[in-house]
Amino acid sequence: HERHSSTRMATAHGGDAPITIIDVVDGVARVGYAVDGASVLESPISRATVVRERGCDGDAADGVVHAVDAHGRVSNVDALEVVLRDALYGALGWAEGFEGYACACERATTTLERREDVTRMMFEEFNVAGLAFVDAAVGALYACGRISGVSVEITENASEVTCALEGAALTQTWRRAPRGGKRMDRALRAAIMAKQGVDVSDDTARAIRLALGKCAESREEYEAFKSDSAACETETFKLPDGGELKLTSELYECGEVLMQDALGADESDAEHDHHGSLPAEICESVQKCPFDVRQLIVDNIVVHGEGSKLPGLEARLLVELQSRMSLVPSMTSIPEYMPASTYAHAPWTGAAIASKVIFSSNQYISKTDYNENGPAFAHSRR
């Protein structure tokens, strides 16, 4: 993907109708206009809360109707409509009758029925002129200028792995481990309490993780730091009450939660099918790819998501994968010319990049297509 000096808003067929990119992850809807060239993320991205809290059985709690389930899949289209209406017509500034075109990021586990429901919502409730879907894993790879590889998305709630080949997600390779930013925060809180006797809040633990969290570059290094904190660099974090915490080996618990099976497990894992370490999940995902393309796939392993910003994480992941597979894995980083925040919403970025080609080459669902064929037509243009 070449860089361009233009920062014009991307439009379908070169017209005046803008292309809006929509992604829902971690209970947050991200919406924004696609922009030509390298400035794709410089347009504002509005974030609207989709899930405020979740009952243990996944049903509404305290009067809250949930739009997505525990896996991040759309489970209530009516609730999603309410959130998107506020974000699109409110924060983004859509005008009735001038909605333009939309491109939605879609997770690998999305069912055919749910895709039809979203298609129906976008045409009948939002009156879009055209709609396209981009697989989230493919979008993340597009953001790095790749079309084949492994998408490793670490969100606040979980880690998801999906392989893609030549611009198409291999849905059978999807894996999910309930380890993300929140699990790291719990491990960090426990380590601080055990070592210093200080009970920090969830919000404070998250702030510490985002500012100072680390990942040891090998298991041996982690064990060495844990047994001898003096070997670690001391970091200082200022608490909300004005006090200070001196932190050393505790910070490395963040990354270790992703790397070791025992450290990432707790009683809630029984609710999930997959709960291995992140390296194990990546290996399982790659094993589900056709044998002759596995090396091509592992040539580009892209780590992204709001929970992925840990110094040392990519290096450690590479070490772990090299010890587990006969292939030669390689990490692919987000290009330096992309905005620094790209790691947090790579699928959104990739969808914005791809949208101009999708709409200019008629690879989308038009209003005519929908009126003549109904929502099932969405399956032919994905």
Q: Quick one: what percent of the chain has pLDDT higher than 70?
A: 81
Q: State the pLDDT confidence band at 2, using cuts at 50, 70 and 90.
A: very low
How long, in residues, is the chain?
Answer: 382
Burial class (CB in 10 A: 0-12, 13-18, 19+), 133: buried
Quote the pLDDT of residue 291.
Answer: 96
Q: What is the pLDDT of residues 260-313, one digit of tens each?
A: 876 555 545 444 444 689 999 999 999 999 999 999 999 999 999 999 999 999
In 3-state terms, the chain is what percent helix, strand and coil (to 5)? 45, 20, 35
Q: Of the given ranges (7-11, 205-209, 304-308), which has the lowest mean pLDDT?
A: 7-11
Q: What is the C-alpha separation between 241 and 257, in angstroms, rounded?
A: 28
Cα(70)–Cα(175) distance, integer angstroms? 14
DSSP 8-state secondary structure symbol assigned to residue 279: H
Supply the pLDDT for residue 66: 59
Question: In whole angstroms, what separates CA 224 from the centre of its chain?
Answer: 32
Q: Quote the CA–CA distance of 261 and 250 in Å, as a whole number.
A: 18
The reported pLDDT for the residue numbered 109 is 84
Cα–Cα distance for residue pair 359/97, rounded to 1 Å: 19
Mean of the per-residue pLDDT values of the chain: 84
Q: What is the mean pLDDT of residues 169-176?
A: 94
| Distance, CA of 43 to CA of 123 (rounded, Å) | 24
For the cut 90, the answer to whether the pLDDT of residue 26 exceeds it is no
Given a contact cutoff of 8 angstroms between Cβ atoms, the answer to whether 176 and 264 are in contact is no
Instruction: Report the percentage of the chain scoring pLDDT > 90.
Output: 61
Higher-confidence position of 381 and 154: 154
pLDDT at 330 over 60: yes
270-298 core/surface letters (b: 16 or more CB in 10 A; e: else): eeeebbbbbbbbbbebbeebeeeebebbb
Instruction: Provide the pLDDT confidence category of residue 39 given band limits of 50, 70 and 90.
Output: very low
**What's the confidence (pLDDT) of residue 56?**
32
pTM of structure: 0.85
**DSSP bridge pairs for 48:** 29
pLDDT of 45: 45
pLDDT value at residue 266: 54
Q: Residue 92: what pLDDT?
A: 83
DSSP string, 130-185: EEEEEEHHHHHHHTTT-SSEEEEEE-SS-EEEEEEETTEEEEEEEEEES-SHHHHH
The residue among 341 and 200 whose pLDDT is bigger is 200
pLDDT grade, residue 5 (50/70/90)? very low
| Residues linked to residue 18 through DSSP beta bridges, in sequence order | 11
**Between 26 and 367, where is the model more confident?**
367
Neighbours of 245 (CB within 10 A): 17
User: Higher confidence at residue 52 or residue 129?
Assistant: 129
